[in-house]
Amino acid sequence: MKIKRSERLVDMTRYLLERPHRLISLTYFAKRYESAKSSISEDLSIIKKTFEDRGTGIVETLPGAAGGVKYIPTITKENAREIIEEMCEIMNSKDRLLPGGYVYLSDMLGNPEILQKIGRVIAAQYVDKKVDAVMTVATKGVPIAQAVATYLNVPFVIVRRDSKITEGSTVSINYVSGSSDRVEKMELSKRSLPRGSKVLIVDDFLKGGGTINGMRSMISEFESETVGVTVFAEAGYNSKREVFDYTSLIRVNNIDLKDHSISVGLGNYFDPSTD
Amino acid sequence: MKIKRSERLVDMTRYLLERPHRLISLTYFAKRYESAKSSISEDLSIIKKTFEDRGTGIVETLPGAAGGVKYIPTITKENAREIIEEMCEIMNSKDRLLPGGYVYLSDMLGNPEILQKIGRVIAAQYVDKKVDAVMTVATKGVPIAQAVATYLNVPFVIVRRDSKITEGSTVSINYVSGSSDRVEKMELSKRSLPRGSKVLIVDDFLKGGGTINGMRSMISEFESETVGVTVFAEAGYNSKREVFDYTSLIRVNNIDLKDHSISVGLGNYFDPSTD
């Protein structure tokens, strides 16, 4: 069925948005809409311009027989800042304080709109890098990993503290927990990560950094490479941090259990050096 | 900045797709594009028609001062069938067989495109029902719950076998595991589910049904109501199933550990009675 430009624009926008980072041939669209490739190209320039004007994504056209079009979700620095500031506000509530100085985040990490925003902000950071998989450790990091992986359109793999029978054979490593100085174990299903993968590590909360270092060792164990580390929140008050490169969206500057107060600010995502 | 219809259509489509089930006022769009409400209404009818023609969603317009427009993701029965048949094919591989008759699913449940399809198919089933939250049990159900919750645009809550310090106070219940006849414990963070919620239960794999019944008790414990139960796969060979209403996308009909074979078919999602 041949359809009008306006309807092509709507359907093509939807089609691209649902398949980020996937190369789609112009022939596919030409057939889908029974339209000439030249019309499809014109449609795509309208979509490209609109996404660029709004700062929501890049539409990349690759010429040639193996070419096509690819949608890459992005976000403007201003939008990212707005999002993170909004999250700081949500977090800046003493109701979130739990015994032991922990912070309740389950509501945020169970809210699809917030997760999509986090996913978009983190994925945008790695637009220019090749990422084959997103890795996290069970259980709190999983929703973030899924959100980031959705925008990058790559698989996510979950490292676990205890192996499940449904994972098949696993690779197990020991690591030192930064906050407790204890030696702990983490496992990853052997078939979940092909050798030579470029892996992005994400997690919900960075304290001592032991878990992140554990995941880095795990990635080496799979003869793969760590492309980057981004956490939703870091504990800015922690001095026992093991050193490595990472990005944080939010920094928890202080938790005062006596005053029952929490102070939250922007993470290093916006530091000039991480640009 | 006043923009052209074609660009409005692209941006409005993106805007709606990113906010399923959310009521957006025409005034918002009129301001966003510096256009008359009548033009916005015309744009919306084009989007509505295109989504309907492709069977990808409903665009609902509510009249009046408190009115606006709402995008509701749907899927045609044919598309749903195609998706599930594709998944059956992926699952019909003896490489997935694990010792003890378990099936390896982690690759599928870590693939964003597959998860989005599962999420869309399950969410479409509950388009006409009020759902306040999606519930699952850690850890394998979580990616499915997140995908479904994203399409329904409601929070998802995670029941755990062992309580985490970062969950705050929890409600704990005992339940009988259907497959092992053992009494087990599950916990849910007290503040994660408001009383009186209408809850959709999802999970990855249904064997005995004990975990699902556990979640149903948990929902009652929170003075809330179970709206429905949908699982990705059910073990069709299991005779010890406790009876309750549920929907399955896929049925694992047989696992033969001697022959090292697995036989997978459509679940009851497509049974006439569940329409």
Q: Which two tokens stand for residue B61?
A: 């317009």
- Separation of alpha carbons B190 and B184, rounded Å: 19
Beta strands in B17-167 (DSSP E): 57-62, 68-73, 97-98, 102-103, 133-137, 156-159
DSSP assigned state of B222: T
pLDDT tops 90 at residue A208: no
Contact A113 B19 (CB under 8 A): yes
Domain count, chain A: 2
CATH code for the domain in which residue A13 is found: 1.10.10.10
Are A20 and A148 found together in one domain? no
Contact A143 B146 (CB under 8 A): yes
Domain assignment of residue A51, given as a range: 5-73
Are A159 and A237 found together in one domain? yes
Are A44 and A119 found together in one domain? no
Q: B231 φ, ψ to 5°?
A: -115, 155
Boundary (domain end) residue, out of A26, A55, A73: A73
Are B33 and B90 found together in one domain? no
pLDDT tops 70 at residue A140: yes
Provide the CA A78 distance to its chain's centre, in angstroms.
18
Boundary (domain end) residue, out of A73, A104, A126: A73
- Separation of alpha carbons A274 and A271, rounded Å: 6
Are B176 and B270 found together in one domain? yes
pLDDT-derived band of residue A258, with 50, 70 and 90 as boundaries?
confident
Helix (H) or strand (E) holding A261: strand A261-266
Boundary (domain end) residue, out of B57, B73, B89: B73
Are A89 and A178 found together in one domain? yes
Residues in A closer than 8 angstroms to B149, CB to CB, are 110, 112
ipTM for the complex shown: 0.94
Assign A47 to helix, strand or coil.
helix
Are A51 and A160 found together in one domain? no
Helix (H) or strand (E) holding A50: helix A37-54
Q: C-alpha distances in angstroms, B257 versus A152, B70, B92, B254?
A: 37, 49, 14, 10
Closest chain B C-alpha to A243 CA, distance in angstroms: 25
Beta strands in chain B (DSSP E): 57-62, 68-73, 97-98, 102-103, 133-137, 156-159, 170-176, 183-189, 198-206, 225-235, 247-256, 261-266
Contact A9 B11 (CB under 8 A): no
Are A42 and A166 found together in one domain? no
Are B42 and B97 found together in one domain? no
What single-letter amino acid sits at A136?
Answer: T
pLDDT tens-place string over residues A70-91 = 999 999 999 999 999 999 999 9
pLDDT-derived band of residue A275, with 50, 70 and 90 as boundaries?
very low
Are B84 and B146 found together in one domain? yes
Per 3-state DSSP, chain B is made up of helix, strand and coil in percentages (nearest 5) of 40, 30, 30
CATH code for the domain in which residue A110 is found: 3.40.50.2020
Per-residue pLDDT averaged across B185-197, rounded?
96
Are A36 and A91 found together in one domain? no
Residues in chain A, total? 275
Tell me the pLDDT of chain B averaged across its residues.
Answer: 92
pLDDT tops 60 at residue A274: no
**CA-based nearest residue in chain B for residue A156:** B110
Are A88 and A161 found together in one domain? yes
Does residue A247 have a cis bond before it (omega within 30 degrees)?
no
